Amino acid sequence: CMVRQYKFNIVMKNTTRLCATKPIVTVNGKFPGPTLVAREGDTVLVKVANHVKYNVSIHWHGIRQLRTGWADGPAYITQCPIKPGQNFIYNFTITGQRGTLWWHAHILWLRATVHGAIVILPKRGEWWKSDVEAVVNEALKSGFVPNVSDTHTINGHPGPLSTCSSKSSSKDGFTLKVKRGKTYMLRIINAALNEELFFKIAKHRLTVVEVDATYVKPFKTNTMVIAPGQTTNVLLTADRSTGNYLVSVSPFMDSPIEVDNVTATATVQYSGTLASSPTTLINPPPQNATPVATNFTDSLRSLNSKLYPTNVPLTADHSLLFTISLGINPCPTCPSGNRAVAGINNVSFIMPTTSLLQAHFFNLSGVFTDDFPGNPPVAFNYTGGTPPLNNLHTMIGTRLYRLAYNSTVQVVLQGTGLLAPENHPIHLHGFNFFVVGRGLGNFDPKKDPKKFNFIDPVERNTIGVPSGGWSAIRFRADNPGVWFLHCHLEVHTMWGLKMAFVVDNGKGPDESLLPPPSDLPTC
Ligand code: C2O
């Protein structure tokens, strides 16, 4: 194991996209930002130096941060922001994870341009033991440079079919050059602010091998679905003889009230093919192709091998039901007299002015309460009918839910049809969870748990809760600290669709949060 050091300079950079140039906030002048590469077991030190006029913080999305919650990054949750002119060194060790994750700014909407990939190589010497890894190993040996995709841009480019100019060429977009007969591993990250996405490559099938830095049972698919925050590794076998093939990234939204037809594109180009020769096109799935998405999601199973067992908790010390909803609150100062709010169990989260982790560690009172409701205040039909009015008028507060160290937790995330039926990609910091169940309509506490999968549920850090449906997750609270749970659609986060767990220290020597680093920013 080694120590890997990175320097992230937050700087403005003039960037041209769609024929317009504007200054954007970047890391080291790059968009997307630099790829962080480490091996399982390595310690990573990232010195972030803030040279812009905005506050900054960086989150290492999906990194467990065992006992190092100070390095997690969400502003006002685990740290005060890094102010203009200040530095902070994020210091964490990568344990028990391998694959693709990503990092992004975690303050307001800054992550739009401040994000990049995290590539975690498996420990040496253990990965040839299973099939998947052998293939992955091959893919890496072929010299393929890890690639990152995001919406509206693929590797920072909108693609050859973007409408910027009528004469755009494929140079305008990202081109993946392949050799016939070889297999490539694509690391795909949905870094979009507000949209779930379909990903397809013309005339090629993809083999899914890993999600959120955990291995899955490999399966083949024509279309991949990925929610904001999620990462997926797929194998692409170059089994055509020659040609250019279009890669398409298009929105998935099963809400009928929003329309978005923006499709980003890239090109897979076989060696020996000219960039100017014709490209085999592809039709993206319709925006509301819910069956395609459901089919994909249901195919995801954890590997559950000897080497990578699926340690899903078989008990639930805490059994929680979280309803996720959008609502309207009265707002005397707003032009319409109302404002949009979003909440969990009817509580819209108010960001504190100092960090929750500091308040927790130093026992500061008056920053948060630990009375977050484990169940919705009123039971009703969440996915249809008119809700009681008090379920539209959302409460506000900085309320946390307390978990004893090592307790087991089940959370049923119930999407609701109040106001707008939408998918919500819910992300939990500090843990991976197992997705033991999923369904449409209202969760039935009598019937549905009987169908839960405790054998090979997929393990991940972000789950797309279906609109008008539910997802059930389980995890073990083995990481002391304060851990954010929120919708990864930035607009919903902003409206308050977030909460946090506070996990107490355990009794053992390795079961407590480490003390804060000396350079931790103050608020
Ligand atoms: Cu990727 Cu709290 O987020």
296 CA distance to ligand 1 middle (Å): 23
Distance CA 425, CA 491 (A): 12
What value, to the nearest 5°, has the Cα angle with vertex 493 and ends 300 and 477?
55
pLDDT at 20: 83
Alpha-carbon 477 to chain mean position: 20
Distance CA 110, CA 74 (A): 12
58 CA distance to ligand 1 middle (Å): 9
65 CA distance to ligand 1 middle (Å): 13
- Whole-prediction pTM value? 0.91
What value, to the nearest 5°, has the Cα angle with vertex 443 and ends 437 and 448?
50
Buried b (16+ CB within 10 A) or exposed e, 133-146: bebbeebbeeebeb
> Block means of pLDDT (10 residues each) for the chain, length 523 residues?
95 87 94 93 98 98 98 98 98 96 94 93 62 39 33 60 41 82 93 87 96 97 95 95 92 68 86 93 90 94 95 98 87 89 92 97 97 88 67 83 98 80 88 96 95 98 91 98 95 93 96 97 95
Distance CA 211, CA 214 (A): 6
462 CA distance to ligand 1 middle (Å): 9
Site of tokens 């939990």: 428
What the block records as the tokens of 84 is: 């203009």
pLDDT at 388: 59
Distance CA 119, CA 476 (A): 25
Identify which of 423, 430, 390 has the alpha carbon closest to the alpha carbon of residue 293: 423
What value, to the nearest 5°, has the Cα angle with vertex 509 and ends 212 and 431?
15
Are the beta carbons of 37 and 46 closer than 8 angstroms?
A: no
426 CA distance to ligand 1 middle (Å): 9
59 CA distance to ligand 1 middle (Å): 7
Ligand 1 atom closest to Cα of residue 104: 1
Distance CA 502, CA 318 (A): 13
Q: Please indicate whether the domains covering 127-306 and 318-503 agree at the CATH topology level.
A: yes
Residue identifier of the C-alpha nearest atom 3 of ligand 1: 61
pLDDT at 265: 87
CATH of domain 127-306: 2.60.40.420
342 CA distance to ligand 1 middle (Å): 17
Distance CA 139, CA 155 (A): 20
Q: Which fold has domain 1-123?
A: Immunoglobulin-like (2.60.40)
Q: Residue 356: CB partners within 8 Å, gap ≥ 6? A: 76, 77, 78, 367, 368, 398, 400, 482, 500, 502
CB half-sphere exposure, 477, CA atoms < 13 A:
27
Ligand 1 atom closest to Cα of residue 229: 1
298 CA distance to ligand 1 middle (Å): 24
Q: What is the 3-state secondary structure (H, E, C) of 309-351?
A: CCCCCCCCCEEEEEEEEEEEEECCCCCCCEEEEEEECCEEECC
Distance CA 286, CA 465 (A): 20
Are the beta carbons of 35 and 146 closer than 8 angstroms?
A: yes
Are the beta carbons of 82 and 50 closer than 8 angstroms?
A: yes
pLDDT at 211: 97
473 CA distance to ligand 1 middle (Å): 17
pLDDT at 135: 39
E strand or H helix that includes residue 494: helix 490-495
Distance in Å from the first CA to the final CA of the chain: 35
79 CA distance to ligand 1 middle (Å): 14
DSSP per residue, 113-167: TSEEEEEEEPPTTTGGGSHHHHHHHHHHHTTPPP----SSSBTTB--TT-SS-TT
Distance CA 58, CA 89 (A): 10
What the block records as the tokens of 279 is: 């490209």
Ligand 1 atom closest to Cα of residue 62: 1
Distance CA 368, CA 451 (A): 37
DSSP conformation class of 101: E
Query: With left for phi above 0 and alpha for psi between -120 and 50, is residue 28 left, alpha or beta?
Result: left
Q: Which residue type does 298 have?
A: D
DSSP per residue, 19-48: TEEEEEEEETTBSS-PPEEEETT-EEEEEE
Please give all residues whose beta carbon lies within 6 A of any atom in ligand 1, as ranges: 59, 61, 74, 104, 106, 229, 427, 429, 484, 486, 488
pLDDT at 253: 79
Ligand 1 atom closest to Cα of residue 111: 1
What ranges do the domains of the chain cover? 1-123, 127-306, 318-503
347 CA distance to ligand 1 middle (Å): 20
229 CA distance to ligand 1 middle (Å): 7
In this predicted complex, what is the ipTM?
0.99
CATH of domain 318-503: 2.60.40.420
Distance CA 435, CA 414 (A): 13
231 CA distance to ligand 1 middle (Å): 12
What the block records as the tokens of 61 is: 């999305």
Ligand 1 atom closest to Cα of residue 484: 2
What the block records as the tokens of 129 is: 């033991």
pLDDT at 393: 66
DSSP conformation class of 453: -
Looking at the chain, the number of H-run helices and the number of E-run strands are 4, 31
CB half-sphere exposure, 218, CA atoms < 13 A:
16
Distance CA 434, CA 410 (A): 9
